[in-house]
Structure 1
Amino acid sequence: MSKFRGAFVAIVTPFTDGQLDEQGLQDLIEFQIANGTHGIVPCGTTGESATLTHAEHRRVVELTVKTVAGRVPVLAGTGSNSTAESIELTRAAKEAGADGALLITPYYNKPSQEGLYQHFKAVAAAVDIPIILYNVPSRTAVNMLPETVARCAQIANIVGVKEATADLNQISQVIRLCPKGFAIMSGDDFTSMPTVMIGGTGVISVTSNVEPKDMAAMMDAALAGDIAKAQELHYKLLPLMQAMFIDTNPVPAKTALMMMGKIKSGLPRLPLYKMNEANEEKLKKVLVGYGLV
């Protein structure tokens, strides 16, 4: 059975005065584990990987692995739009002791399907670590097709994919074409429950940052085939899931964590910017309604 199963949190990277808040990150990890999160994903999109220096990136992964101390799997974001850089970051994650590496499809340079395959093949050949591919066309301007995922799945250490297309047709095709035991994780909170219902293994979640307990419970119920409980939690969580995207991710998640008293500062790094007052009010209303503040 794949270790990449259930609700993994795409954890935010807290900053204080623009610098990495190490204690804040450790506190967030403890909050996650205490509330039943199945895995931690540092340095993903939600962790603002795009504005971390390489030294910070390495430090966040090292600190996460050290703090987690084997209690749950750590899947480190190591992708880039440069294959050489992806290899370097993936090597660093392996050296830090991460359980796996999450590799986004190269963004901005728009590789062909063959280019995508060759990119992932090169990283997998260079670093012997379990790799989860990450397909998020809304951010990268490239959609990795199910056939390409299936080709990559033939490579021994490519063990899964995070599908953030929010397209159950495409996700179904990926599941149909990939070998049994290949981890299929939703990259959208909204489609996490239905993804598991059609054969997926879990979610890499933004909403888990603020409500890890219910996200983990929903995934547990869905994986156990308890449709009634999974549906009930899906609809309970839906307003919260929607609130996490009223501004660019991770701005709402960080703002919510600050409102909840979980981090000192909710400010992202530029070019991301704090929420406007109207959106902040909307977010607060949802958090109050959920009983989080």
Structure 2
Amino acid sequence: MLTEKVHIAVPTAFFEDESLNVQGTISHIRDLYKQGVKSILVSGTTGEQHSLNLQEKMAIINGLELEEELIRNMEIIFGVASIRQKEAEELAEKIRHTKISGIMLGFSPYVIPTQEEALVYTKRIIHLSNKPTILYNNPKRTGFDLSEKSIIHLSKIDLVIGIKDAGNKEKVERIKKGLHRNDFYFYAGGEVDLEEKVLHGYNRLSSIAGNVFPAEISQWFQKLLMQQKVSKQESEKIANIMEQVYQGNAIVNVKKTINRKGIPIGICRSPIGNSST
């Protein structure tokens, strides 16, 4: 089961020609591990997932499997989603036979399945991966919004441990009323409006800013969960972090900071990172 309250959604490293850099990705994960990070999400929520083809995702998994210390000591969650179900199934089968801790299951972008079609897709991927699963609902990126009825239905599957970005306050409240278990978690996607989301019932974090400020973000989130007072100094520090990460394109900003540390995370795949200057 996935026990960490915070995981960091790590960006994927690319060379200057936009080809995949597996070792650059792993170098960043190693650096986070040295800083005490216990859980990461790979090929997930940084917006790069759907730019990766199936072979590239497989290559990242193969690279991770060689990192015995990381696999043994970290919760490694892998993002599984594809516009084609068959490719997501192949990826899920691959993950089943690894020591990867769990999956974040996203929905096909653009095609907008029905709720029934999405349920069939979800159950098939969970069955094939046989891993603890976080559902990932992201209508802004995919055009598809998993309904509260569907979420409650899927929550009855033991392997489904939670959902990322379930929706607004009212939707979360309706889901909570329909749940028949206490160990179902609500993950906030990134730090924007995090205080408000915690008040609405979100109790776990899929962090973007944690790529560059892991300790500060984790401590802040723990205080929010515990309803502890955040000092003026801490609030100013968090405001500064939010400005550094989220002013403009967050993934571009994060990669620039990581590259400055000497870790070869590289560029983003265009059009992300395009600039007129």
TM surpasses 0.5: yes
Candidates 69, 72, 78, aligned match of 1:70: 72
Q: Please, what is the CA RMSD of the aligned residues? A: 2.6
Deviations 1:177-230 (A, max 9, x none): 33210121111312444444444331111111111111111233334x142139
Partner in structure 2 of residue 154 of structure 1: 156
Q: Percent identity?
A: 21
Aligned-partner Cα distance in 2 for 1:261–1:173: 44
Query: Which ranges in structure 1 are unaligned for 5 or more consecutive residues?
Result: 278-293
Aligned-partner Cα distance in 2 for 1:203–1:146: 20
Tell me if 1:252 matches 2:244. Answer: no
Partner in structure 1 of residue 202 of structure 2: 200
After superposition, residues 31-110 of structure 1 pair within 5 angstroms as 31-46=31-46, 48-67=48-67, 68-110=70-112
| Runs ≥4 residues deviating over 6 A | none
Partner in structure 1 of residue 29 of structure 2: 29
* CA drift at 1:3: 2.2
Deviations 1:104-141 (A, max 9, x none): 12210111222222221222233311111101111011
TM-score of the superposition, structure 2-length normalised?
0.86
Query: Which ranges in structure 2 are unaligned for 5 or more consecutive residues?
Result: none
* CA drift at 1:48: 1.6
Aligned-partner Cα distance in 1 for 2:75–2:247: 30
* CA drift at 1:31: 2.0
Contact 2:24/2:265 (8 A) holds in 1: no
Aligned-partner Cα distance in 2 for 1:176–1:15: 44
Q: Which amino acid aligns with 1:71?
A: N
Aligned-partner Cα distance in 2 for 1:58–1:262: 26
Moved more, 44-53 or 106-115: 44-53
Partner in structure 1 of residue 264 of structure 2: 264
Contact 1:43/1:61 (8 A) holds in 2: no
Candidates 113, 117, 120, aligned match of 2:119: 117
Contact 1:14/1:265 (8 A) holds in 2: yes
TM-score of the superposition, structure 1-length normalised?
0.82
Partner in structure 1 of residue 186 of structure 2: 184
Contact 1:192/1:202 (8 A) holds in 2: no
Deviations 1:75-126 (A, max 9, x none): 1001112222211111222223211111112210111222222221222233
